[in-house]
Amino acid sequence: MGMLRRHGFRIVATFFALTLAILGTVVASTGIRVLGNAVERAGVDDFYVATPGDAVGAPGSVVKTDALLGAPLAARGWRIMYRTTDLNGAPQVATGVLVVPLTPPPAEGRTVVSWGHPTTGAARGCAPSYGFDPYLGIEGLRFLLDRGYAVAATDYIGMGVAGPDSYLVGESAGRAVLDAVRAARSVEAADTSDRVVLWGHSQGGQAALFAAESAASYAPELDLRAVAVAAPAADLLGLMAAHLDDISGVTIGSYAFDAYAEIYGDSVSGTQLSDILTPEAIDILPRMNELCLLTSIPELHRLGEPLVDGNFTTADPTTTSPWRELFAENSAGSRSFDAPLFIAQGLDDELVVPADTLRFARHEAGLGIDVTYQEISFATHGTVAYLALPGMLQWLDRVLADPAEVRPKS
């Protein structure tokens, strides 16, 4: 059996010290980054053009890189396009960013933190690396760089560069997270090692967990040292059940049902949109899927509100085949992994239900994983990853300093 360490986190002096550090860093580096980001926008679209042959090659091999001018303070960064595979093993191309500090690397190379981002949307233009500031959403980036780590941040398949939709498709997302590490190792100037930390929030928590579960078989050359997630979308049945009749369910469902119909529609009977969505929902789906979450919430809500309270689906997808089975298949927790796991959950989170995350933490401990579970009393879904940073970083410092201390005992 594994171990479950459960902590309640009170944020007082640590939080304010962290806030001051962030503000100081932002003030010092924002001007340079804004100027660099502005210069780069002129040709940014060209980077995201891939040819049909670009997907052919070893997973994690690099198609192209683009050095970024607007890098964080005392760091250098690249946009990267790299090869990966989807859940069926078909070759795909994904994009993302790679950031490394300017400090000298250790002799064995830098540990790579592979970041899985939370939901930003499903359209290609919602890819974080495509944004004006491609580093903005990498939670904890400054503190990870200050520890000497390289940070790889995938967009997932289907975002940034054309490809099949992978929203909440766990295996595809997990492979994109792992292949981002392989890509980082291919960039010689990054000076990376085979040591890997996975870190993800919400949708990215699901991606990080699937990456952890498949790492030993999919990327056995990587040395997985630690996995950290904040409010992970680990239990998709629980997530969908909690939001069947509210605007969050309509928004998430618009992204998810469209992705699942595309990915499973030709191979799994009953996965056409008309098998689960009302005609009204199908009508608005193309527009919903064009909109990026963080920049279009009012418009998403305007489109989705008429579908709340039973007007979105024709049946309960959490009890109706094949949707129930697909959501279960894309929920984390089916396999153990040989690395310690940190889980943070905000108790004011209205999207990922705290009781579901606690249940998942206990499940993972039951698989033999060493789990540290931290509850943060006033954290919401949007703030939990940032507010978890003091505890997560303290935990990470400990487990990387002495991995034998927390490795599951055989």
- The H-or-E segment that residue 185 falls in is helix 170-186
Provide the 10 A C-beta neighbour count for residue 336.
16
- The H-or-E segment that residue 68 falls in is strand 62-68
pTM above 0.85, yes or no: yes
Average pLDDT, the chain: 91
Coil, helix or strand for 224? Answer: strand
Q: What distance, in Å, lies between the first and last C-alpha atoms of the chain?
A: 9
- Taking only Cα atoms into account, the Rg of the chain, rounded to an integer number of angstroms, comes to 20
CATH class of 4-235+335-404: alpha beta
CB 204 within 8 A of CB 167: no
**Dihedral (Cα; 371, 375, 381, 385), 10-degree rounding:** -60
Can you tell me the distance from the alpha carbon of 151 to that of 129, in angstroms, rounded to the nearest whole number?
13
Say whether the peptide bond before residue 105 is cis (omega within 30 degrees of 0): no
Coil, helix or strand for 367? Answer: coil
Please name which of 60, 402, 392, 387 lies closest in space to residue 229, comparing C-alpha atoms. 392
Can you tell me the distance from the alpha carbon of 45 to that of 124, in angstroms, rounded to the nearest whole number?
11
CB 120 within 8 A of CB 293: yes
Residue 218 pLDDT greater than 90, yes or no: yes
Can you tell me the distance from the alpha carbon of 409 to that of 320, in angstroms, rounded to the nearest whole number?
40
- At 236-283, the pLDDT tens digits run 999 999 998 999 999 999 999 999 999 999 999 999 999 999 999 999
- At 388-402, the pLDDT tens digits run 999 999 999 999 996
Work out the average pLDDT over 352-378. 97
**Phi, psi (5° rounding) for residue 327?**
-65, -35
Q: Residue ranges per domain, the chain?
A: 4-235+335-404, 246-256+266-328
| DSSP string across 247-294 | HHHHHHHHHHHHHHHHHHTTTSTT-SGGGTB-HHHHHHHHHHHHS-TT
- At 65-101, the pLDDT tens digits run 999 988 999 999 999 999 999 999 999 999 999 999 9
**Residues β-bridged to residue 374:** 7, 344
Can you tell me the distance from the alpha carbon of 173 to that of 179, in angstroms, rounded to the nearest whole number?
10
Q: Which residues, 6+ apart, have CB-to-CB distance to 409 below 8 Å?
A: none
